[in-house]
Structure 1
Amino acid sequence: MKENPNAAGRKADKILIDQEVPFGIDELFFSRTDTRGVIQAFNSVFSRIAGYAAEELTGAPHKLIRHPDMPKGVFWLLWDGLKRGHSVGAYVKNRAHDGRYYWVFAVVSPTDGGYLSVRLKPSSPLFAAVKEVYAGALERERTNGLTPEQSAAAIEADLVGAGFANYGVFQIEALRREHASRDAARERVVTSALTASGQLFDVKQEIEQELRVLCDNLKKAELITTNMKIQACKLKSGRGPINEIAKSYEQMMRDIRNHPRVVQTLRKDYSTWDVNDEARSVFMIIVADLMDEMAAFFSAESASDENEGAGAEMSVFAELRERAMQDGYRAVQQLSADAEMIRRMVTGLAMVRVVLRVEAGILRERLYGLQSILDQLDRFHDEVSDALERVQEAVTPLLRDQSLAA
């Protein structure tokens, strides 16, 4: 590659000015790099805000605009997610050519042969809190000599302390809040896909709550089956069938507890990128919307600039938009499938309950303890059935919303 004639001047230019570069909340800008982080393409807004001419940016390393106030741990998290194939969101403070700074919320996605970063102006209340986290992280790096990976772990610990399960969950919630704040500032009419994604986020929270209720009820049901066996021992005849029914019930409850959706809901040891499907889908649907808007914004820019290479970039936006929408809709389908599978398991438990009632009816000895167990099972199934019905009611409208599949 031919060396950029301005590279030497850039290396020598270390000035910092504590003044922000202004840009509008309605503006979006992007840059596309190869796998090494060398800039391949960008739009005119990026060039204007960064303060570099187009020929200075083309072929330059993206770290050209890195600000020394940025903790290295943030970039470690960003690159770790990209290497795993994720689209990743992060607040980033950049340095313009003249030494001023500008903040963005960047969404970076893997593309064929590199990465695409779309940036928007952060404006949500979360932004102020994040700047404090970054300041603390930078101080730790400088004072304690932390490696980027160590700093990343400390930053994530700060975010967990603020109520986020991990960095993966934080970046999803951050994008959701920034995107909503930006739309509100522009008085933008929210698209049906984004409305559905917000509903999906609420459904995700609802199903997790219902599954926790289900698991609490399963713990109570374990006591019921134990009592069932105790009562069977008191029977002079017919204890064999009751014992078998209790065993069948225990096995079915074990299957429900081991269901992946239940296991994921109850787990506490989340690693950095452990995120449930529903939350990930919210992120991807917003990414798809950003790609749509970025494409429209760039198209208008290119028409006035007569940019001959615009077509190739438009193809990248379209490809990422399609991939993001497919990921988002897939999560909705998986959510419904999980709820249906658990419903079938509980239906199986209900059938065992019916068999138990029939068996109790034909026994000559009618123990009060066995009847009490049947009453407990009735209450258990009523509670579980109501919970699953609420989940299914929440999911069904999303499945009917064809905008998610568009």
Structure 2
Amino acid sequence: MLNLEADFALHELFFSKTDFKGLIQTGNKVFLRVSEYQEEEILRRPHNIIRHPDMPRCVFKLFWSFLKEGKPICAYVKNRSKNGRFYWVFAMAFPMDDGYLSIRLKPSTALMCEIQTVYADLLQKEQAGVSLEQATEDLLKALLEKGFSSYEDFMNKALLAEMKSRDGLLTLSQENLAPAISTDSGLLEGLLRASRACTETARKAFNLADQLSERTGALKTKSRAIDELCREVQMVTTNLTISAAKLGEVGKPLGVVSNNLEKLAEDILSNTLDFEKTFTSFHQSAAEMYLAIDVSRFQIEMMNHLLEETLYREDTQASISEEQEQMLIQNCDLLKQLISSNFATVLNTAKELTKENKSLIRSVSMLSKVTAGMDVICVVGKIEMSRVKELSSSLEALLGDMEELTESFKKILRSIEGESKWGLGMSNELREQLTFISQNLRQVDRAITA
């Protein structure tokens, strides 16, 4: 059985809740089925009952250190079922008031393949006698070598990648496998309707945040181009000043032109630095927004999955017992607490994103105004050139270079301004979707507390 994989479908999600000692308090049907344990066999047992021997211990050391510090954490984990089957999960765990709650999905990205290699190396080191502290350091070093700045950076990117991959791999026919529920409980029907509405809107919000993140990421190249152009402008203006000085008295008017360009270049550089700071803040807000929505969506979909798997019955005449209904509401309440806690962060991040987006538009507008002055100075320079017979071809070429740089500046700024305005529209649309989610979460809350 050790080389057989447990049946865990891509569209499925499962969760479990433990106390602070790691003793299992509750779990959903998928968790029980995949782990091959009966409910009475797994409740009040340590969560490491499903630990696979292929897992390095340092991963769990890191996992628990995050949770004990009150921070959520994600990790790829290989588990073992009661009968010895293995199954990989991408797990995200959250601290609660009375323990920890973990949500898991089936991983499907290349990152999991990479982490398997890292884990195999760490396991070998641990078996050779390396301390947990050293193994943990080696884990962080391995992630650094793969381009991640920290474990937090790794887990955040992995979460986004896994959710996007899952969306792409779940076909339309699989999405339509959502069961038709038949229940005689008005309370559960209301809860399910609100949960499904939340799930649908959360998916839309995630897709909007994904588009915004991708477009914002693409702006990085243009942002860097502004800095490069600014340095080119400085170099050209310096050369113009030197060339005009070589002409002596006759080059004085051109010297004035080049000095004005030089001062303007300094203003542009100053505004460019302000733009860079504003763009960095905007880019960070977009990334935080994307991640916050991703976490909320994961939690919301888990609640919806829990409702559907519990309420779905092949025999529509069968009824749900009072005990089952009570357990379902209790678990939904746990997830609702988690969602509400994170969603407050989502709403605050959305406000910050809109604020930073507006600041970016203002910064681009200011930079455009300063750059427009280059056009005027270049025209004056051409007029002065027409009066100087001794004008060198190099001086004329330099002024031509300045005109080209000015046009490049204006073109990039127009593009960034257009993207920024698009981003503001997308941010506003995103906030509308978040408002819908808030409304549906209130419906969920009312159904749970009814």
TM-score strictly above 0.5: yes
State whether residues 13 and 103 of structure 2, in contact with CA within 8 Å, keep that contact through their aligned partners in structure 1: yes
Distance 1:172 1:104, change over 3 A: closer
What TM-score results when the alignment is normalised by the length of structure 2? 0.68
Structure 1 range deviating more: 191-200 or 50-59: 50-59
Is the aligned partner of 1:315 residue 2:315? no
State whether residues 106 and 120 of structure 1, in contact with CA within 8 Å, keep that contact through their aligned partners in structure 2: yes
1:23 alignment counterpart: 8
Is the aligned partner of 1:346 residue 2:405? no
Alignment of 1:112-123 (within 5 A): 112=97, 114-123=99-108
Report the Cα distance in structure 2 between the residues aligned to 1:142 and 1:334, rounded to whole angstroms. 52
Distance 1:84 1:397, change over 3 A: farther
CA positional deviation for 1:119 = 0.8
Distance 1:317 1:168, change over 3 A: closer
Distance 1:51 1:324, change over 3 A: farther
Report the Cα distance in structure 2 between the residues aligned to 1:113 and 1:249, rounded to whole angstroms. 60
Structure 1 range deviating more: 282-291 or 239-248: 239-248
Is the aligned partner of 1:220 residue 2:232? yes
1:298 alignment counterpart: 306
Report the Cα distance in structure 2 between the residues aligned to 1:222 and 1:357, rounded to whole angstroms. 14
Distance 1:120 1:282, change over 3 A: same
1:105 alignment counterpart: 90
Give ranges in structure 2 of 5+ residues lacking alignment.
Answer: 177-199, 312-319, 437-450
1:270 alignment counterpart: none
Q: Pick from 42, 47, 52: which aligns with 1:62?
A: 47
2:433 alignment counterpart: 403
CA positional deviation for 1:355 = 5.9
Is the aligned partner of 1:326 residue 2:347? yes
Report the Cα distance in structure 1 between the residues aligned to 2:364 and 2:245, rounded to whole angstroms. 32
SS of corresponding position for 1:236: helix
State whether residues 118 and 139 of structure 2, in contact with CA within 8 Å, keep that contact through their aligned partners in structure 1: no
Distance 1:111 1:159, change over 3 A: farther
Deviations 1:266-297 (A, max 9, x none): xxxxxxxxx94434433332322222221122
What TM-score results when the alignment is normalised by the length of structure 1? 0.75
Question: What is the root-mean-square deviation of aligned Cα atoms in Å?
Answer: 4.0
Aligned residues with identical type, % of pairs: 25
1:284 alignment counterpart: 292
Deviations 1:215-251 (A, max 9, x none): 3322322313323543564643685785365235324
Report the Cα distance in structure 2 between the residues aligned to 1:83 and 1:276, rounded to whole angstroms. 27
CA positional deviation for 1:85 = 6.6
CA positional deviation for 1:93 = 0.8
Distance 1:233 1:116, change over 3 A: farther
Larger Rg computed on CA atoms: 2
CA positional deviation for 1:173 = 4.4
1:183 alignment counterpart: 170
Q: In structure 2, what residue type is equivalent to 1:187? A: Q
State whether residues 249 and 352 of structure 1, in contact with CA within 8 Å, keep that contact through their aligned partners in structure 2: no
Q: Pick from 349, 356, 372: which aligns with 2:377?
A: 356
Q: In structure 1, what residue type is equivalent to 2:222? A: E
CA positional deviation for 1:207 = 1.4
State whether residues 299 and 310 of structure 1, in contact with CA within 8 Å, keep that contact through their aligned partners in structure 2: no
State whether residues 17 and 101 of structure 1, in contact with CA within 8 Å, keep that contact through their aligned partners in structure 2: yes
State whether residues 33 and 39 of structure 1, in contact with CA within 8 Å, keep that contact through their aligned partners in structure 2: yes
Report the Cα distance in structure 1 between the residues aligned to 2:42 and 2:212, rounded to whole angstroms. 40
Distance 1:344 1:228, change over 3 A: farther
State whether residues 196 and 398 of structure 1, in contact with CA within 8 Å, keep that contact through their aligned partners in structure 2: yes
1:211 alignment counterpart: 223
State whether residues 172 and 280 of structure 1, in contact with CA within 8 Å, keep that contact through their aligned partners in structure 2: no
State whether residues 325 and 405 of structure 1, in contact with CA within 8 Å, keep that contact through their aligned partners in structure 2: no
Q: Pick from 136, 152, 159: which aligns with 2:139?
A: 152
Distance 1:129 1:237, change over 3 A: closer
Report the Cα distance in structure 1 between the residues aligned to 2:245 and 2:123, rounded to whole angstroms. 67
State whether residues 368 and 410 of structure 2, in contact with CA within 8 Å, keep that contact through their aligned partners in structure 1: no
Higher share in helix: 2
SS of corresponding position for 1:19: coil
Structure 1 range deviating more: 303-312 or 288-297: 303-312
Distance 1:375 1:79, change over 3 A: farther
Deviations 1:31-59 (A, max 9, x none): 23455544444323323433444455444
Q: In structure 2, what residue type is equivalent to 1:249? A: A
Report the Cα distance in structure 2 between the residues aligned to 1:236 and 1:84, rounded to whole angstroms. 68
Deviations 1:310-355 (A, max 9, x none): 3531432431562464366357536624642441342243244256
1:256 alignment counterpart: 272
